[in-house]
Amino acid sequence: MSWTPKEPIVSVRDVHKRFGAVEVLKGVSFDVMKGEVICIIGPSGSGKSTLLRCINALVPIEQGSILVEGQEVHDPALDKLALRRKVGMVFQQYNLFPHKTALQNVMMAPLHVLKQDKAEVEARARRLIKKVRLEGKEDAYPGELSGGQQQRVAIARSLAMSPDVMLFDEVTAALDPETVKEVLVTIRELAAEGMTCLLVTHEMGFARELADHIYFTDRGVIVEHGPPAEFFANAKDPRTRQFLSQIL
Amino acid sequence: MDLQPVWDWFRWLYEATGIKLTIFYDDFDRSRFFNGFLTSVRLMGVCLVASVAIGIVGAWLQGARSHLVRLVVQAYIQFFRNTPPLVQLYFFYFALGSYLRITNENGLSVPLVGNFAWAAICLSFYAGAFNVEIFRAGIEAVPRQTIEAAESLGYSRLKAYLYVILPLAFRISLPALNNNLVNLIKTTTISYAIAVPEMLYVANQIWSDEVNVPEMMNVLLVVYVSLVGLLVWAMSRWERAMRVPGWGVS
């Protein structure tokens, strides 16, 4: 199946996911076009993070379909490596490899997984470190970096695989208020360069500024969605309004 | 380097005080004790490397998808952990060894596996069983999210194990591994029971011939303390060299 940029780069259709007795996703559908920035907001436990992890095939789904560039993620015969080359993921807790320096963290996957040439990978990794404004920190270990710095290394590490889509799972939730900004600046630059981004976030100001489209999820379903201006100004569903009144 | 003055001093010591360290001044005793020492060190070296390799592979297989593979690993661990090493050695040498015989060119039935090899196999699997559990504990201490990060970067299960999980688990496991390897070094002495000519065995021969039991006992203690000390020193150096700034107990 060949995919063209006219079609959605990520297409989620009626996805159901349960953990034991708890149904976390109860039929979620949405599309993301290439270059779009999508923000998923909602109370904790509403299935936002699970949704991102399904897109990356980190967790299997029970029902429905997820297409990334036309390829079914839920297909048992799926080449997960090929999928994960296309989809980068950044986590709330950074999850860097603590035994490797910042530069090595960025270089590891292209060397081990893609088996690319070391000199070329290193040059690219140094450019990415510079891009996330961490020049001079190449040889620092994750344990020697602040949360914001670690998160930017994690972003560079994902970018090193040259993904087409980036998933950000509450990437600023574990950071100090001052360092949140450093990370948001990096994501803003990525979005400006045309990277397709799916963000689960609690940064409403950021979502309003950056998102092309906002999805509000609660208890496993998308309650309401729309462009940020419309979404924040006149939310219709009472659940959305209650959520927004609590955090804005 | 001519060591003759040293040997002469020990002969003088014997003549002056009666302390009979024939392993220094008697050429035959010196040579057999030295060979025993070398046999011990070889046995220790083989078992150290093999038991760590068994531990690494076993811990990997413990996470295998196949239920059967996990069951086999578990059975292996239980067998080797719950039986005395001396009984294991006897079992391998006398029970299994009596089946594994071939007829040589002179028409004589000879064992296929010699006693040194049996000791090396048995002790490696004995210490290896503990190493599997030690590495498993280390692997379980690696945060799930770190492994997930590797998966999200396209690492296969094997590659994630080799490049992410094992390097971290190894560092976590080193203190416990250290203990088990010290134990292994000391346990090599049980190969005495199947006549492997290692240090304890030759010491016994020497004290039987020379009637110098107290001296040889002291020699054995000093040599084993030194060998274990050397291992502990090397392991702690290794532990320091592998320490990662800002991670774990640094």
Rounded to a whole number, what is the distance in Å from the CA of B134 to chain A's nearest CA? Answer: 20
Which pLDDT band, with edges at 50, 70 and 90, does B149 fall under?
Answer: very high
**CATH number of the domain within which A234 lies:** 3.40.50.300
CA distance B78 to B48: 20
Determine whether the interchain pair A81/B156 forms a contact, defined as Cβ–Cβ distance below 8 Å: yes
The structure's pTM equals 0.81
User: What is the per-residue pLDDT for A236?
Assistant: 84
**Closest residue, chain A, to B155 (C-alpha):** A113
Out of B164, B167, B245, name the one closest to residue A143 (CB).
B245
Question: How far is A221 from chain B, CA to nearest CA, in Å?
Answer: 25
Q: Which residues of B touch A153 (CB under 8 A)?
A: none
What CATH number does the domain located at B32-241 have? Answer: 1.10.3720.10
Instruction: Kindly tell me if the per-residue pLDDT of B250 is higher than 50.
Output: no
Tell me how long chain A is: 248
User: Is A119 contained in some domain?
Assistant: yes
Chain A environment of B244 (Cβ under 8 Å): 98-99, 141, 143
- From B161's Cα to the closest Cα of chain A, the distance in A is 12
- Please tell me the total count of domains within chain A: 1
Full residue range of the structural domain in which residue A243 is found:
10-247
Q: For residue B249, what pLDDT is reported?
A: 52
DSSP states along A59-110: S--SEEEEEETTEETT-TT--HHHHHHHEEEE-TT----TTS-HHHHHHHHH
The pLDDT of residue B71 is above 80: yes
Contacts 24+ apart (CB under 8 A), B213-217: B215/B19, B215/B20, B215/B21, B216/B23
| pLDDT over 90 at B234, yes or no | yes
CA angle A190, B159, A50 (to 5 degrees): 50
**pLDDT confidence band for A164 (50 / 70 / 90):** very high
Over range B74-98, report the average pLDDT.
93
Instruction: Provide the residue ranges of all domains of chain B, joining segments of one domain with +.
Output: 32-241
pLDDT (tens digit per residue) in A84-121: 889 999 999 899 999 999 999 999 999 999 999 999 99
Closest residue in chain B to residue A114, using alpha carbons only = B154
Inter-chain touch B154–A58, beta carbons under 8 Å: no
Give domain status of residue A238, yes or no: yes
**Rounded mean pLDDT of chain A?**
90
Partners of residue B250 in chain A, C-beta under 8 Å: 143
In-domain check, residue A58: yes
Instruction: Tell me the two tokens of residue B138.
Output: 């280390």
A91, closest residue in chain B (CA to CA): B149
Chain A's closest residue to B156, CA to CA, is A81
Mean pLDDT of chain B: 91
Of the candidates B152, B171, B245, which has its C-beta nearest A89's C-beta?
Answer: B152
* C-beta of residue A169 within 8 angstroms of C-beta of residue A41: no
The CA distance from B139 to the nearest CA of chain A, in Å, is 14
Numbered residues of chain A with Cβ closer than 8 Å to any chain B Cβ: 56, 58, 80-81, 84-85, 87-89, 91, 93, 95-99, 108-109, 112-114, 141-145, 154, 157-158, 161
Decide if B151 and A96 are in contact by the 8 Å CB cutoff.
no
Measured distance between the N- and C-terminal CA atoms of chain B, rounded to whole angstroms: 44
Contacts of A73 in chain B (CB under 8 A): none
Q: Grade residue B68 by pLDDT with cuts at 50, 70 and 90.
A: very high
- Scanning every residue of chain B, which has its alpha carbon at the shortest distance from the alpha carbon of A79? B154
pLDDT range class, residue B221, cuts 50, 70, 90: very high
Asked, for residue A67, whether it belongs to a domain, the answer is yes
Q: Looking at residue B18, what is its pLDDT?
A: 87
C-beta atoms of A96 and B149 within 8 A:
yes
Please check whether residue A137 lies inside any domain of the structure: yes
> What is the identity of the amino acid at A120?
E
Contact flag A142-B247 (C-beta cutoff 8 Å): yes
A56 to chain B: closest CA residue:
B152
Cβ separation of B155 and A109 shorter than 8 Å? Answer: yes
CB distance A125 to A103 below 8 Å: yes
The predicted model gives B201-219 an average pLDDT of 93
Residue type, A103: L
CB contact under 8 A, B143 and A95: yes
pLDDT tens profile A1-51: 577 888 899 999 999 999 888 889 999 999 999 999 999 998 888 888 899
Strand partners, A66: A12
Kindly tell me if the per-residue pLDDT of B136 is higher than 50: yes
Interface test with B, best of A49, A53, A93, A113 (most B CBs within 10 A): A113
Residue A227 lies in a domain: yes
Mutation choice for A interface testing from B146, B147, B152 by most A CBs within 10 A: B152
**In Å, how far is A235's CA from the nearest CA of chain B?**
35
State whether residue A220 is helix, strand or coil. coil
